[in-house]
Structure formats: structure tokens, C-alpha cells
Copies of this chain bind each other. A is one copy, B any other.
Amino acid sequence: MKKTAILLVLLTAISTGALASEKLTLETQGHFAAGGITIQREGTYDNSKFAGWATPIEQGQSYRADHAIVSYQIPAKAKNAPLLFIHGYGGSGLCWEMTPDGREGFSTLMLRKHYPAYVIDLPGRGRAGKTSATTTVTPKADEMLWFDIWRLGEYPNYHNDVQFPKDAETLNQFFREMTPDLSAHNMKTDLAAISAAIDKTAAMTGRTLHAKDPAGVVLVTHSAGGFPGWLSAIGNSKVKAVASYEPGGYVFPEGEVPEPMPSLTGTASGVPVPMEQFKRLTEIPIVMYFGDYIPEEVTDKLGGENWRVRLQMARKFADAINRHGGNATLVELPKLGIKGNTHFLMSDLNNGQLADLFDAWLKGQKLDK
């Protein structure tokens, strides 16, 4: 990471963000489905036959599935670059749209800075529940594991000075943001839906930054949403930049994949892609943000271990992009003096400061026009 970039980002972040007491002015808002397939049963539908609500006669009928649902809001004085938010494992787009303690969510903070916000529920999650898979969902008590993995602390103890309120109701709201995944866990399904969402977002509000550029969008990804984010940028030229909050996976040029990195929670491995695909990531600005409580050395803590290897892989990923002529910035927040961030940085107590940081980066890339 370039030192000048850090300084620029730091100085700009000190400027105050929008005050919560100011009005939020929108042009319009709504939702749309993006992508998906249509399952069509053979035969002809017979309008006169009814076999009960639970057991439809499927003959001749259809079932739409595997789409994403996108919630969008277009602010007044909208900037050219719409932000398309992609959530990670275990939840839906909710993580961008709320905080567990009732403050405004990250997408709202960016709306206040006049960036159009498009928030995805990926196929099978949240309101995009219709999938082509047959899935059984059952209560699996796992919240203490996530408390640890997502670096709130080591259950039941919170990290010192963590940017997460320690009251019971905040934790209650945080876990209720989670929602099951009804999909077949097929990366191609996610990518098809994301690409359709990119196309529609670009068509709605992505304006040209330069006369020669087509309309584009900025992907904003989190955690397990990070990996499909890289592939989406490779696969869809309308992606003009990617900002990723603690991405979980990475691609590398074939022949340049780092050694797998084992940890207590599994092995982090880079995924090889042909050089001409990887090159695409060198043609757009990329920024990654990582929070606190990530050790450099092997530990016996689940959360620390899980993100230790992913942060180390992120460093190699940024190096690979920059080595091939790209523009990747890895922001390790504690190194900027920004401490206490969990894995859910976007809804942490200092999410206003993080929104300022992101805005400053977008400005630095001239994506704020």
C-alpha cells in the first residue's frame, strides 16, 4: 500500500461526515429481481383443476428461481457511481442497511454522501428465497461460534474497546440479521445473478465518468461476498471499481498462486485464473479494508486464526495486482489508528468514520463525480 494514499485517506476521514439529524433526500426507491432461471414443467396448465394449495398440479406450470433481489435507492444530486453491495455468508443485504444497535446502516451513510445504493440479497437468501434446489433448513445452534469467528470477542467476553455495543439487545438484533441459505451453493448461480444486477444497476444510474467509458458500477463486497466480487469484476466490464470489507477468498494468476495457508478454521487457498482474466483486476481501482484483532502469528483463537490467513492472503493478492500494473490498496485499519473493528465493519460503532474513509478513497479514484 502506498503511504501517500494512506495519508490522503486519513486526512479526508477526519472531516466530519453527514450529521444524522440532516434529512435524507431521495429521487426514488424500489426493488427488482435480477437474473435467475425459469423451471417449466411439461404439458398444458388446466385452469379448471385445483388439487389444494399445498399440492399444485405442476403440469404446464412454471417456477422462477435463482434470482437475486436488489433493493435500490437513488439520492438527490446522485453521483455517477452507483454502489452495488454484496453480502457474505449467513445473512442477507440487511447487514448493509441497518446496524444492530439502531443507527443508520452503511448504505444509508453512503446515500447521504449522494452515492446511489443497490443492495443485493443473493440467490436463496433473504427475499430471494425461490431457488432450483431442494433444501432442508433446521435450527443449528451456532451463535457463539459466530461471536468468535466474527471477532466480537471470545464468547462470552467481548474484545476490549470493541466497536460493538455490549448490551444484550444489540447482540440479539445482530444474530437475527442472519438468515438461512436455500440455494444449492453454486458459485455460477451467484455470479449470473450478480452480473444481471450489475447490468440493471448500470442501466439505471451508472453514468459515464469519461466520454469514452460505458456506464459502470462500484462493487462493495463483504466476507464471502468478496470472492464472487472478484469474479464479477473479471466477468462484467461494467464494474469500474471494487471495495471489499474483509474478503474471504482471492484469485491469482495461474502459476502465481501462493502456498495454501492452514489455520484452525480451515486452509485458505488462492484460486488460479488465466492471466488475461486476472489482468482485468489490474485495470480498475481496488481497495480492501480489514479490522482489528487479527494476529500475525498462529494462535488458538478461532476468530483470530480465521482472519490471520485471509489477511495474509489479501496482502499477497494486493501485491499480485500491483506487480502486474494494477491499483490495489489494502487498508489495515489498526495501522491507521482505527481500532476495535469486528468482521462486520460496516455496522460497527465507527461505521460513520469508515464511510468517510471509503468516500475519500472514491474521491481519490475520481469516482465521486
> Residues of A at under 8 Å CB distance from B?
20, 23-33, 36, 38-41, 45, 47-48, 50, 52-53, 56, 58, 60-65, 67, 69, 71, 76, 92-94, 97-99, 102-105, 108, 121, 125-145, 148, 154-155, 172-173, 175-180, 182, 264-266, 300-302
Complex-state Cα separation, A178 to B264, whole angstroms: 40
A30→B102 contact, CB < 8 A:
yes
Q: Which of B24, B92, B179 contacts A29 (CB 8 A)?
A: B24
Contact (A24, B27) CB under 8 Å given A182-B137, A300-B48:
yes
> Which of B50, B102, B179 is close to A130, meaning CB atoms less than 8 Å apart?
B179
- B178 contacts A130, CB within 8 Å? yes
The 8 Å CB contact of A45, one of B25, B102, B144, is: B144
A31:B97 contact, CB within 8 angstroms: yes
Q: Which residues of B have CB within 8 Å of A142?
A: 56, 58, 61, 63
Set of chain B residues within 8 Å of A176, measured between Cβ atoms = 33, 36, 64, 67, 69, 128, 130
Closest to A154 in B: B47
Closest B residue, CB atoms, query A263: B50
Contact A25 B23 (CB under 8 A): yes
Known: A28-B104, A31-B97, A53-B265; 16 extra A-B contacts, CB below 8 A, are A26-B26, A40-B141, A47-B301, A47-B302, A48-B300, A50-B264, A50-B265, A58-B142, A61-B142, A62-B175, A63-B141, A127-B179, A128-B176, A129-B180, A129-B182, A134-B138
* Contact indicator A98/B140 (Cβ below 8 Å): no
Interface contact B130-A129, CB-CB below 8 Å: no
Q: A60 to B98, alpha carbons, bound, how many Å?
A: 28
Distance between Cα atoms of A62 and B97 in the complex (Å): 24
Q: Which residues of B contact A67 (CB under 8 A)?
A: 176
Check A139 against B144 for contact (C-beta < 8 Å): no
A175 touches B31 (CB 8 A): no
Alpha-carbon distance A135/B29, docked complex (angstroms): 33
A97–B29 Cα gap in the complex (Å)? 9
Out of B47, B141, B265, which one reaches A62, CB within 8 Å? B141
Q: Can you report 16 residue pairs joining A to B where beta carbons are below 8 Å apart?
A: A23-B27, A30-B102, A31-B105, A33-B173, A33-B177, A40-B141, A47-B144, A47-B155, A56-B145, A61-B141, A62-B141, A67-B176, A69-B94, A130-B176, A137-B182, A180-B182
Closest CB in chain B relative to A217 CB, distance in Å: 18
- A179, B24: Cβ atoms closer than 8 Å: no
A136 closest partner in B (C-beta): B136
CA of A69 to CA of B125, assembled, Å: 14
Pairs of residues from A and B, 5 with the lowest C-beta to C-beta distance, nearest first: A129-B179, A33-B176, A61-B141, A31-B98, A56-B142
A94 partner, pick from B20, B31, B36, B138, beta carbons under 8 A:
B31
What's the least CB distance linking A135 to chain B, in Å?
A: 5
- What's the Cα separation between A65 and B33 when bound, in Å? 26
Residue of B nearest to A173 (CB): B33
User: Which of B26, B105, B175 meets A64, CB within 8 Å?
Assistant: B175
